[in-house]
Amino acid sequence: MKEMEIIHPRVRAELEAAQDWETYWAKEGGLVAWHTPWNRVYEKVNGVSQWYTGGTTNLGANAVERHSQEELGRAAIISIREDGSVRTLTYAHLAALVRRLSRGF
């Protein structure tokens, strides 16, 4: 058995990040939906750290909309009130609410 096989997945990820952080963060960046792909994982410009330079994305699209495309009927938020009533918002419903709210901005 390889040494890495017995290590908890979170600890393994941290070790991989420490050994080759640029490759690790490039892989993590691949989990995000990008409007414009990034060209560098990290660079420092005039003393300011910049991650995923050149890339553009949308937080709302990554948090809600991409999930709604995959599983429209899956529960995104489940609210249980003090009176015991339950309200469930699916990813499709949550995406519709986010789009409605964003039109107000």
pLDDT digits (tens, 9 = 90+) for 24-75: 899 989 989 899 999 999 999 999 999 999 999 988 778 777 776 678 889 9
d(CA 88, CA 80): 9
- Predicted pLDDT at 68: 63
Same domain as 79, residue 48: no
Same domain as 46, residue 8: yes
Same domain as 50, residue 12: yes
Same domain as 64, residue 31: no
Residue 45 sits in which domain range? 3-57
More confident site: 70 or 4: 70
d(CA 21, CA 76): 31
Q: Give yes or no for residue 89 having a pLDDT over 60.
A: yes
More confident site: 84 or 70: 84
What the block records as the tokens of 100 is 């409605």
- Predicted pLDDT at 92: 87
Q: Compute, in degrees rounded to 10, the torsion defined by CA atoms 9, 14, 16, 17.
A: 140
